């Protein structure tokens, strides 16, 4: 009797009751994955580095002749962990940025992305945490998927970058072949390096819609490395409003002093096309402040006036595969400051409102392992192209 009760309370495991063993896999560019035998748990670990040598030829402020400078650096170093837990419909991602350049805008933490993804419905999934604000196409395309060494400078000025919040989304409404996608979200409004700082109540409301008339495709990866036989086209538009942000560029850059805040309207429109090795991405982006200045008082009661930054710009970036693994890409971008905005922005764009760039990429393992060379010319209406700033870069970008 005792033996029977013992077996009932503590059944002996047998081959039929044992859970399947975990599955471990590894492949170039996709890291190491560990998945439970029943498929309920998955963790993938990847790393990425970018080694860069850059040479710049520019006329320093107050000088009349060009000066040649150079820089060699570990430009990017990232660790990414992602997977799912309990179910394939409960995903997660954690990305750490470790290079010195990644610590920008006063950041004190290496955490770039940290979110949970609930994908129980293809038509209405939810992502919660720290991540890109789903705004313009060029900024939300991962740095590892770029075909030129850097994004256009105007995007760096006007984008919304990362923040803490949540959004409702679908990549293909109505099923895998759905032609419509959307993002509808709310965010804290201060950017990632001030996520724990209390401020006047406010935040970001954002909506983005996309139409993919030929069906979903890899629109968030630059270039047509696959040499598509059928056309891929994505047309997107987005609008956002950031109320009471403490930052001069909405979610990035320096903060206003003495608790000052500003309100910004953001608008973007973009298009991506791919066919037969040819690719094109174009974008319009704008940020407009509700007021040209932020007025506060210092500790002694004296008035302090600071400027907001309002502007708009366009980017056109074509590319063509000229060999099985070789691509040529070019870019033209224009930036403009709005009337009454920060004089520092106006002065800067007098010298660097126009951007012309060209690049050559050798894809050893598509975007996961590539060698890229690029040249960029920045100049403005007050100078000739010969007086502009030239920057040449060579980089090795590896995801492992």
Report which secondary-structure segment, H or E, holds 6.
helix 2-9
Output Rg (C-alpha) for the chain, integer angstroms: 24
Q: pTM of the prediction?
A: 0.91
The number of CA neighbours under 13 Å toward the Cβ of 184 is 8
d(CA 383, CA 354): 11
Interior angle at CA 137, CA 399 and CA 274, nearest 5: 80
pLDDT the model gives residue 193: 72
Say which residue the tokens 């959307």 belong to.
182
pLDDT the model gives residue 196: 64
Task: Indicate the DSSP class of residue 251.
Answer: S
pLDDT the model gives residue 4: 47
pLDDT the model gives residue 62: 65
Both tokens of 23, joined, read 């599955």
pLDDT the model gives residue 198: 75
Both tokens of 236, joined, read 């997107």
d(CA 246, CA 150): 27
CA dihedral 287, 236, 352, 144 (to 10 degrees): 110
**Beta bridge pairs of residue 25:** 33
Domain residue extents for the chain: 24-399
Asked whether 353 and 389 are in contact (CB, 8 A), the reply is no
d(CA 359, CA 371): 11
How do 67-85 and 42-58 pair as beta strands? antiparallel
pLDDT the model gives residue 105: 78
DSSP 328-369: EEEEEEEEEEPTTS-HHHHHHHHHHSEEEEEEEEEESBTBTE
pLDDT tens, residue by residue, 362-385? 999 999 999 999 999 999 987 776
CA dihedral 222, 224, 226, 229 (to 10 degrees): 140
pLDDT the model gives residue 195: 60
Neighbours of 118 (CB within 10 A): 16
What values do phi and psi take at 170, rounded to 5?
Answer: -150, 135
CA dihedral 294, 195, 193, 148 (to 10 degrees): -100
Asked whether 260 and 294 are in contact (CB, 8 A), the reply is yes
The CATH class of the 24-399 domain is mainly beta
Report which secondary-structure segment, H or E, holds 305.
strand 303-307
pLDDT the model gives residue 63: 73
Say which residue the tokens 């560029």 belong to.
249
pLDDT the model gives residue 207: 98
With a cut of 70, which residues of the chain have pLDDT below it?
1-17, 62, 194-197, 385
pLDDT tens, residue by residue, 104-145? 877 788 999 999 999 999 999 999 999 999 999 999 999 999
Question: How far from chain centre, in Å, is Cα 280?
Answer: 18
Which regions of 1-62 does DSSP assign to beta strands (E)? 23-27, 31-35, 42-58
d(CA 19, CA 168): 35
Task: Assign 258 to helix, strand or coil.
Answer: helix
Asked whether 242 and 202 are in contact (CB, 8 A), the reply is yes
**Beta bridge pairs of residue 102:** none
């Amino acid at each position: 009797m005792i033996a029977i009760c013992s077996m009932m309370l503590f059944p002996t495991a047998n081959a039929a009751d044992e859970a399947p063993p975990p599955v471990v896999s590894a492949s170039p560019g996709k890291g190491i994955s560990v998945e439970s035998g029943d498929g309920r748990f998955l963790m993938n670990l990847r790393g990425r580095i970018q080694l860069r040598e850059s040479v710049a030829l520019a006329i320093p402020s107050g000088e009349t002749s060009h000066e040649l400078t150079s820089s060699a650096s570990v430009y990017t170093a990232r660790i990414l962990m992602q997977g799912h837990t309990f179910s394939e419909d409960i995903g997660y991602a954690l990305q750490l940025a470790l290079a010195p350049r990644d610590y920008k805008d006063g950041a004190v933490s290496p955490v770039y992305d940290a979110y949970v993804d609930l994908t129980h419905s293809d038509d209405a999934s939810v992502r919660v945490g720290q991540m890109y604000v789903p705004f313009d196409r060029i900024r939300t395309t991962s740095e590892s998927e770029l075909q030129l060494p850097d994004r256009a400078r105007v995007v760096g000025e006007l984008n919304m970058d990362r923040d803490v919040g949540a959004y409702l989304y679908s990549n293909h409404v109505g099923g895998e072949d759905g032609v419509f996608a959307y993002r509808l979200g709310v965010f804290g409004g201060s950017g990632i390096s001030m996520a724990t700082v209390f401020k006047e109540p406010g935040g970001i409301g954002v909506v983005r819609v996309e139409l993919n008339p030929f069906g979903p495709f890899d629109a968030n990866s630059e270039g047509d490395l696959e040499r598509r036989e059928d056309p891929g086209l994505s047309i997107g538009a987005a609008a956002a409003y950031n109320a009471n942000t403490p930052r001069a560029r909405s979610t990035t850059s320096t903060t206003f002093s003495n608790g000052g805040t500003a309100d910004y309207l953001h608008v973007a429109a973009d298009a991506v096309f791919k066919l037969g090795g040819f690719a094109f991405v174009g974008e319009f982006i704008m940020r407009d402040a509700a007021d040209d200045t932020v007025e506060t008082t210092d500790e002694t009661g004296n008035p302090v006036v600071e400027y907001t930054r309002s502007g708009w710009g366009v980017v056109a970036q074509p590319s063509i595969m000229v060999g099985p693994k070789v691509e040529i890409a070019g870019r033209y971008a224009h930036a403009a400051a709005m009337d009454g905005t920060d004089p520092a922005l106006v002065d800067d764009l007098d010298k660097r409102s126009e951007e012309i760039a060209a690049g050559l990429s050798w894809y050893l393992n598509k975007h996961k392992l590539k060698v890229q060379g690029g040249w960029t010319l920045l100049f403005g209406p007050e100078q000739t192209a010969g007086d502009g700033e030239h920057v040449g870069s060579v980089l090795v970008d590896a995801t492992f």
